[in-house]
Structure formats: structure tokens, C-alpha cells
Structure 1
Amino acid sequence: MSDQDFREFDPEETNEVVDAEVVDNTSDKDDNSSNDNNEKKPTEFCYMCHRPDTICGPLIKMAPGMGVCNECLQRTFDSMGSFGFGGGDNSKSNMDMNKMPNISFLNLGSLFGEGPKVKNAHGAASSQAKEDRPAPAIDINNIIPPHKIKAMLDDYVVGQDYAKKVMSVAVYNHYKRVATGTMDDIEIEKSNMLMLGPTGSGKTYLVRTLAKLLDVPLAITDATSLTEAGYIGDDIESVVSKLLAAAGNDVERCQQGIIFIDEIDKLAKKKNANQRDVSGESVQQGMLKLLEGADVEVPIGASSKNAMVPTTTINTRNILFICGGAFPAMDEIIKARLNKHSSMGFMADLKDKYDDDKNILQKVTVEDLREFGMIPEFIGRLPIVFATEMLDEDMLVRILREPKNAIIKQYEKLLELDEVKLEFEDAALHAIARKALDKKLGARGLRSIIEEFMLDIMYEIPKDDNIGQVIITEDYIEKKGGPRIMVRSAGMIPERAAAN
């Protein structure tokens, strides 16, 4: 068809050639409007079928001066689907465009107000999510009081009574704040915590157990991997993206979770300022708004932002931040502050006065943290500062035996599956605790020591079906003898080493 045919286009002639159905929109109007003189004249024509817009409806602008009707564009996509380019019945196609990144086809219904429903972080339609959305997880009447939180922690964590009491009260007040928002127009500040303690004293285990009991999402991250934005390493927002992943990409549940940042002492200001500190003071400054409460744009299903990953906005106002660290050499700073008096004269203090104080970290103050290298703005956003106790021999023995998932109970269960009873003498448990103290690894050293002595036993037991009981003795732990083994029938084989 030539350009002259376009100019001499006759609508009546088109109705005879093209099999199209004209919709009569004049049924509700007066009969006088049906005159030929009042008929609407075509203004645009489809580039493919050459029908006017009075017949095929509004055209889709593909280029300046070129429009395509809805039906022709849909037939084009259907024909592409039959050749394996997505759309239509692509069950036999070799190429699935839906699986290719950043490639999607136009939904024609969206151009006429019938587009797809906007999806939320769950991947479900927003209208359906409102209908199926469960009740809020935090209810002011269902918040567990502090004494019950501490009682539940006692079942899993041995000792650390002061730390458990502080955490129970802080968590209780925080979730009261989340449930109420404001009380008489008084905004309650967040109860972020800073927890100090030697390695192996149970800092991470306390937080993990607390989140499990409260049934809230928990993200545990390491501050050593955080760097200033623009440098190699994880950005500060990555801690929030980990919490979103722990919450199953549920934004509302994520905004009520707990973030535990371990090794926070590694962010202290460096003493030598000869080079740029991209993983110390600058990270503390970048975390200020995060701790206080800010809108953070984080990727969904990934740890870093890029053009291929969708993002969502998380408000950190109701996220509880708990920071922990061993803070080595902090005891020397505390001792220097406590020894204020002169070392000479009648009021002299001995320099080694606090050397035997194992829990000297519990005397820490804000001034000590500033001397260590934490900036004042960062410390001010962690109002609750406390320290865990140093583990002694008796406490390590209790850790071996008392918790619900104690290490001894785990090995007893393993041997019970082989129909063998395992027992530990009290002297053997104290010997294991002493070895852990010598390694200075805290509770982490207990399992490595037991693994060393249980290796031969768990290797030899499946060989002999007559073994019915194994008793771990102190001599076996001290490598002066072997464990006592009881056979199933009767009697005892004394001092029989499992390795033999």
C-alpha cells in the first residue's frame, strides 16, 4: 500500500476488507448523534494492519509517527513464543527468555490499567499479602517479662547472671518500645548494647540463645569485614541485608530483629594515623545513623548492590543492635585509671593490686572505651555497657554437664545410638576444665579437648558388639591410663585402652 492509499483511506471500504468488529459507543446517546456528519474521523492508523484508531482503539507508540494496535502487537509476541523466544507456549522451546536477566516482555494490560499487582518482599501480590498477613509479632500483652527471659537463658547458659539480667531487661524494654511506639508523646530511645568479655565467655552464645527464645530473626556479622563505602570489603549496609535474609525477605519481620556485630573492638581508631583508616574510625562514623535509626536500601537475596539485584528499604529504628568484643589490652587501661594514687608514700597503691582480678572488665567506663579508640558518638548510641565474667574451673565443669545441650550429653546421645552407655567421672571433668583454662580459649576449648580423647573410643566401639559401657577416668584425660570398659554380659575389663 502506497502513501497515497493512506491519504485516500475510506473507513467504509476498510470494514469490507478487514474482518473487524466496530464497537457502537453511541447507544446511550441521543438519536441525533448518529448522523453521518457527527461521526468521529480517524486520526491514526496501525502500522501493521492499517486499521484506524476508531476501530482498533488507542495505538501503542513504537516510534515517532508510528503506532501499533493492541492485537497486532500481541500476535507478534505470540509468534515469537512459538519459535522459542518466550511468551506463548514455550514448553517445547529451546530458549526461555523468562530465565534471562534483565529481559522481560511488555504486559499490554498494564497500558490500559490492568497491569500486574505490585509485589512485596515476600514475592506475593500486595493485595493478597494484606489479606493473608499474620497479626503483628510483637504484642504488648505477650512480651515475655525479664525474669522469665533470664529463667529460659538459665536452661542453656551457665553462669553470667549479671549479663543475663542486663540483656533480659534491655530486650524487654526494647520490645515494649516496639509494641507501643510512644507513651504519652514521649519517644523511648533504643536499648542498644555493648558487651565486653574474654574470648570463649559466651557472648555470641548468649545472643543466639536469646534470639531463639524470642523467635525473632537474628543476624550475626563480623566487624572485621566492614570497610568504608567504596573500598574492598563489605559495606555497612551489609549487616542489614543479612538480617533481611534471616527473616526470609520479610521486611516487617526484619525491622523487629536483632543484629549482633562481633569483634567490634577491631573498629577502634588506630594509634598511628599515617594512612587512611578505612576499616576503623570511618566505619564507626558510618554506623551512627544505622544504630540510631535510618532508612537503608539493601539488596534482596544478595550481599552487595548491583543492577541485577532488586532492592528494598529497611528502617532500622526498631532493630536491636548488640555489639560485642574481647577488647584486648582493655584491662591495662582500666588498671591505669584505678591506680590513681602515687606509688610512693603512705597512700601508695601497689601496681599489681588488680592483677589477680579476673573480672576487671566489669569495671569498664566510657572513658576507658574512648581511651581504647572508640569515638564518643559511637559509644553514645550504645547506652548499655556490660561485661561477661571470666570462666573458672567450676564454671567450665558446669558448662560440660548442666545445659540442655551440654557437650557431655551430646556424646552420650551419640554412643546411645550404638547401644553403649557413656559416663564421665567428676575428676575427669575437672581435668578437662583445667586443660581448657591452660589453653585460654574459654568454653570453646572444651569440645576440642573432648574430641581428642573421644576419637579412639568412637573408632573402636563399632568394632566390638560386646561393649556395653565406657567410663572416662581422670587417668585417661591425663594420659596416665585408659578408660574403663564394661562388657554387656557381666564384669569389667580394667584399664583397657580404647586404642587397643
Structure 2
Amino acid sequence: MSDENKKDNNLDHNEENNKNKYEEICYICRRPESKAGKMIHIPGNICICQSCMQKTFDTMNNGNNPYMDMSALNPAMMGFMMQQDIPNRQKIKKKVEEPDKKAEEKEKVTEKAIDIKKLPAPHIIKASLDEFVIGQNHAKKVISVAVYNHYKRVAKLKDTEHPLMEDVDIEKSNMLMIGPTGSGKTYLVKTLARLLNVPLAITDATSLTEAGYIGDDVESVLSKLLAAADNDVEKAEQGIVFIDEIDKIAKKKSTNNRDVSGESVQQGLLKLLEGSDVEVPVGATSKNAMVPLTTINTKNILFICGGAFPDLDKIIKARLNKQSSIGFSADLKDKYDDDPNLLQKVAVDDLREFGMIPEFLGRLPVVYSLESLTKDMLTKILIEPKNAILKQYKKLLALDEVDLNFDQGALEAIAEKAMEKKTGARALRAIIEEFMLDIMYEIPKDDSIGRVTITRDYIEKKGAPMIEMRGSFKTPMLTQKG
């Protein structure tokens, strides 16, 4: 071997020895490998220790990392722009973004500020509800007053300098709405949400379970309210939550299994109804490591609970029949058998016997019942509300240039059939869909039809509707099957 080759081998050997003498250093914490442990190599000849890598992943999962904003990265680092062009780009970006930020801040200020003078009075709220909901005057009065007082209370709480707010602390009054199925509990609240420009969330209690079990936690109730407020915490803290099917979380009377969807859910809802700081997942209904959390104070959130409470009338009847005794002034045992509005005589003891715990009922001080729908109310529901069912079908046939009419006998026949089904206003659409099927199928066939009149005989399957041609020639048509 020549001398030159020996020198080259010696140099290579010396370089390897020099490399072995130096330790690798973490790019983030600057600790050597002897202290930080084994290094992780990433492209670009960069070494990162395992602890710094784990911290990086935890920061990314929290979702609050400002460095994850790709728009804030230096384009020159990504190879998209020359370094000397960056100042010009930043100036242009500032000019575009600053007006938008100011506009957004102004919008937020106007949305969050509650002006007591612009709040509609209870009689105005009830008048608006009267246009969509038939009957239920007592329920509409209660909910109108509750919403008005709720936002008046929130507005006064913000005005700490008001002389009337110095000595008196106004508490909220949560409500419990009881009514038979189809009486309009959910529809009443949905209509209220459409009329008022307030964040309102409608949720269902049937999916709620105790924490740690399959199903939604009680915090998911507030998750929907936060979503309705566009993830604005301050706006959500002034909202309204309607929990439907609240009777489904009643305490089970005879069961040997753990009651994870009954009494335990009532216990979990206590802190929400009373008012406390609750951690709520943003953009999801359950807490996990990948979902950010925010804190909501429920002190100013109005809760409205509603349920049909089946068989509650039997409990009320048993309580009222205890007053029966022997003698001339005794009440008959069957006195309340045919009372359609027996639920209006409900007492707190009846609800406790049904399965609601006293702590839960104590946080719902306002308890009221909805009336059972009568034949006259069902007839008005068909034609009077703004979005009445018959108005919807008239609009559908009007698109085919056909006038749809219902005589009084037909309206009464539909209401009578709905009373037989005992499902309230929900039965109306099922009945109308049945007899309108043939009409909606046959009408588009003949362009000469100008008017269709639905009669009682057609509803009772004894005849046919009256068809008026465009030349004013009337003849019965469209025989119905069955």
C-alpha cells in the first residue's frame, strides 16, 4: 500500500473518532444525548429528544397552538416566496385583514349587548305565538313572561350601577312543561326560537346517561347551546335550553340493574339547573383528548323541561280519589275518569311518585300543564296557523294551477279521526296524507282541472271529491280505493 493511501485511511479513521467524541444535541431543549436520552432524527439533520417530541404532540392535540396557523408561517421557509418580497406581502395582508377584524368586533359588541328597551313585552311574544300555535293560552302566557323576565334579569345584572340592583339578587325560574303527546310542547319552543333572536338549543333527554357509560353526558346539553351561539361563550351564557322527553329519566321503580339513564342523570343535571361552571366540549358531544374544552357558567341560562309523563294521570286520579268517603257529600270513584285536562291538577307529590327526585323538582319552580286538544282546536290547527297543514297542500296544488278547498264537514271529519287516534296534532298529517295520495297522483294527469273540493263523504270513503273543470263544469271524480 502506498504512503498516500495510508494517509487517507488515517484521516478517515480520525474523523470517525472525532464524530464519536461529540454527542447529538436536541434541537428544541438543547440538551445532549447523555441527559435527554435517545434522539429522534427527522429530515434536515435535526435531532429531537423523546420528551420534546411528546410535548409537541400534546400541544397539537390541545388545539390552542398559534403556530399551527399555516397563514402565519414564513413563506420563504416553505419555498413559496423570496425573502425580499415578504414585507410587501405583510403590508397587503394587514390592509385586507384589519377592516374585517374591526367589522367582526363591532358585530360581536352589538350581538352581546342586550338592550332592555328592544326586548318584546310578554303580550307581544304571546301575540306572535298565537299566529302559529292554536290554544294553550296559559302555557303561552307562562313561557312569554319567563323569557321576558329572563332577559330583563340578564340585562340588569350587567348594569351593576342600576339603583334597583344594589340589594336584590334576582334568581332565574326554570320551568317544567307537562302535556300529553301531540299537544304542542316542542312546537311551542321551536316557534319561540324562530320568533326571538336568542340562542336556543333543543335537546333530548333519552340519550343522556351517567358519566362513563355509552351515551351522551349531561354536558352535551350545553354543547348544543354553544353551537347555536356560534361557539361564543358569552352569548351562550344568556341562552335558553329546552330539554324534551324529561320524563324518560324518571327513577326506575323496580329494577335490579344500575340505573344509568334515570336517577343518576337527574343528579347530573342538578349542577346545570342551579348554576355552576361546567367544562363543555367544543364541536362535539363527548369529552376526549382530541376535543378542546371551554368553561360555561349556567347561572344565566334558562332551562325549560318538557315531557308527556305517561300514566301520570293515574297517579293524580289516585290522589284525588283518596278524598272519597262514605256519605252524601262523598265523591264518586269515577268522577275524574273522563276529565281530559286531569294533568292540570298535577302536584309536586305526583311527580315524586312518578320517579322525579325532589332535588330535581326543587330546581324547576314553575310547573304548568298543556291542555288536551279538542275537536274544535284540531279543526283550527288545520286552517288557522300561518304554516297550517292545509295551507301547505293548497300551495302544492297551486303550483299546478289548481285550487284546493275543504268544506266544513271535511274539516270536522278529519278532526274526529284525529281524536280517535289519541296522538294529538301529529295524527292530522297522517290522515291528510292518506286521502290526499290519490288526488296528488291524479291531478297532474289532466290540465283541464281547475278546482278540487274535499267533502266529508270523501274523508269517510263514501264518495268522491268535487272536481271543477276550468270551464266551470262540476262532476265527481277520483274514486278512492277501499
Query: Alignment partner for residue 404 of structure 1, among 355, 377, 386?
Result: 386
Give the counterpart letter for 2:31 in structure 1: A
Give the counterpart letter for 1:255 in structure 2: E
The 2-side partners of 1:346 and 1:107 are apart by: 83
The 1-side partners of 2:446 and 2:477 are apart by: 17
Q: Say whether the 8 Å CA contact 1:481–1:495 is kept in structure 2.
A: no
Give the counterpart letter for 1:133 in structure 2: K
1:155 aligns with 2:137: no
Query: Alignment partner for residue 252 of structure 1, among 234, 237, 242?
Result: 234
Q: Within 5 Å, which residues of 2 pair with 1:269-418?
A: 269-418=251-400
Query: Alignment partner for residue 197 of structure 1, among 153, 172, 179?
Result: 179
Query: Alignment partner for residue 452 of structure 1, among 434, 449, 454?
Result: 434
1:61 aligns with 2:29: yes
Q: CA deviation at 1:133?
A: 2.3
Structure 1 runs not aligned, ≥5 long: 7-45, 49-58, 67-74, 79-96, 111-124
Quick one: higher RCO (CA 8 Å, sep 6+), 1 or 2? 2
Q: CA deviation at 1:327?
A: 0.9
Give the counterpart letter for 1:173 in structure 2: N
Cα 1:77–1:454 shift into 2, 3 Å:
farther
Cα 1:107–1:133 shift into 2, 3 Å:
same
Identical-residue share of aligned pairs (%): 67
1:470 aligns with 2:479: no
The 2-side partners of 1:441 and 1:173 are apart by: 33
**Number of the residue aligned with 1:221:** 203
Q: CA deviation at 1:77?
A: 11
TM-score of the pair, normalised by structure 1:
0.76
**Number of the residue aligned with 1:170:** 146
**Number of the residue aligned with 1:134:** 109
The 2-side partners of 1:435 and 1:137 are apart by: 50
The 1-side partners of 2:343 and 2:28 are apart by: 71
Question: Which stretch shifts more, 465-474 or 101-110?
Answer: 101-110
Give the counterpart letter for 2:202 in structure 1: I
Q: Secondary structure at the match of 1:304?
A: coil
Cα 1:131–1:349 shift into 2, 3 Å:
closer
Q: Say whether the 8 Å CA contact 2:62–2:292 is kept in structure 1.
A: no
The 1-side partners of 2:15 and 2:62 are apart by: 39
The 2-side partners of 1:179 and 1:105 are apart by: 35
Q: Secondary structure at the match of 1:205?
A: helix
Q: CA deviation at 1:239?
A: 0.9
The 1-side partners of 2:15 and 2:272 are apart by: 66
Q: Say whether the 8 Å CA contact 2:324–2:333 is kept in structure 1.
A: no
Q: CA deviation at 1:276?
A: 1.5
Q: CA deviation at 1:248?
A: 2.2
**Number of the residue aligned with 1:484:** 466
Give the counterpart letter for 2:172 in structure 1: K
Q: Say whether the 8 Å CA contact 1:197–1:388 is kept in structure 2.
A: yes
TM-score of the pair, normalised by structure 2:
0.78
Question: Which stretch shifts more, 133-142 or 383-392?
Answer: 133-142
The 2-side partners of 1:130 and 1:180 are apart by: 23
Q: CA deviation at 1:147?
A: 0.6
Cα 1:102–1:187 shift into 2, 3 Å:
closer
Q: Secondary structure at the match of 1:287?
A: helix
Cα 1:107–1:404 shift into 2, 3 Å:
closer
Q: CA deviation at 1:462?
A: 1.1
Greater helix fraction, Structure 1 or Structure 2: 2
Question: Which stretch shifts more, 309-318 or 190-199?
Answer: 309-318
Q: Say whether the 8 Å CA contact 1:173–1:191 is kept in structure 2.
A: no
The 2-side partners of 1:101 and 1:288 are apart by: 31
Cα 1:61–1:413 shift into 2, 3 Å:
same
Give the counterpart letter for 1:332 in structure 2: K
Q: CA deviation at 1:332?
A: 1.5
The 2-side partners of 1:77 and 1:264 are apart by: 61
Question: Which stretch shifts more, 373-382 or 255-264?
Answer: 255-264
Count matched residues: 413
Over residues 117-139 of structure 1, what are the superposed CA-to-partner deviations in whole Å (9 max), with x where a residue is unaligned? xxxxxxxx999965652322522
Query: Alignment partner for residue 120 of structure 2, among 144, 148, 159?
Result: 144
Q: Secondary structure at the match of 2:409?
A: helix
Q: CA deviation at 1:490?
A: 2.4
Q: CA deviation at 1:367?
A: 1.4
The 2-side partners of 1:217 and 1:361 are apart by: 30
Cα 1:282–1:416 shift into 2, 3 Å:
same
Question: Which stretch shifts more, 469-478 or 270-279?
Answer: 270-279
Over residues 443-464 of structure 1, what are the superposed CA-to-partner deviations in whole Å (9 max), with x where a residue is unaligned? 0110111011111111111111
Q: CA deviation at 1:179?
A: 0.9
Over residues 62-106 of structure 1, what are the superposed CA-to-partner deviations in whole Å (9 max), with x where a residue is unaligned? 43489xxxxxxxx9599xxxxxxxxxxxxxxxxxx9xx9789896
Q: Secondary structure at the match of 1:187?
A: coil
The 2-side partners of 1:334 and 1:229 are apart by: 33
**Number of the residue aligned with 1:91:** none
Cα 1:193–1:77 shift into 2, 3 Å:
farther
Q: CA deviation at 1:220?
A: 1.6
CA RMSD in angstroms comes to: 3.4
